[in-house]
Amino acid sequence: MALPRRELRELRELRELRELRELRELRELIERVDEQDRVVGVVDRAEAISRHWLHRIATTVCRDPEGRILVHRRANDMSRFPGQYHWLAGGAVDIGETYEQAAARELGEELGVVSAAPRFLFKYLCRGEISPYWLGVHETVLTDPVTPDPAEISWYAWLTEDELQEAVRRRPFVSDGRDVLRRYLDQRPYGTSVR
């Protein structure tokens, strides 16, 4: 007895979803986007980087209640920018995610923070050191303790803006982060609190 068309279609869709999940476990699939940040396809992140295809990254400026900024050193065995310092937490936007959803997810993965609600600040087309990408920048105040993932973060500290700017001049910071810091500081009205 043959199944009705609708049931066959649903079975096919379920199989495709299962295959996509299995494929995602093997590779990091992301959305490839165009110059206007419109989705044009799904690709492997490594391929997007190697071919310089546009994709999406979401980051968050993490501040404590005193206004200091979380700065961290990337683990030495990270595939990108090993051992370098960074002042943003974040990563690739998953398929179907918004920048805000990705920023919140990355805070949980990297810092063990699940209660934060990152606030979107701005996005721009970043001509990154290893690949171009659309970068969504967010901000949040963390009141809960952070528990960084040691596979991603080997050290962290809370720095004032002045201390951060001095560290950026003296330490090996992720190059793209330097550009974002300038934009972040420039986009705020002078003297305005970011909390």
Residues annotated as binding site? 106, 110
Determine the Cα–Cα distance for residues 101 and 20; give it in Å rounded to an integer. Answer: 20
Binding site for Mg(2+), residues?
Answer: 106, 110
Amino acid at 1: M
Determine the Cα–Cα distance for residues 109 and 89; give it in Å rounded to an integer. Answer: 10
Token output for 120: 């979107």
Bridge partners (DSSP) of residue 86 are 72
Helix (H, G, I), strand (E, B) or coil at 51: coil
In degrees rounded to 5, what are phi and psi of residue 127? -90, 75
Determine the Cα–Cα distance for residues 134 and 33; give it in Å rounded to an integer. Answer: 8
In degrees rounded to 5, what are phi and psi of residue 76? -65, -20
Token output for 114: 């699940």
Determine the Cα–Cα distance for residues 13 and 19; give it in Å rounded to an integer. Answer: 10
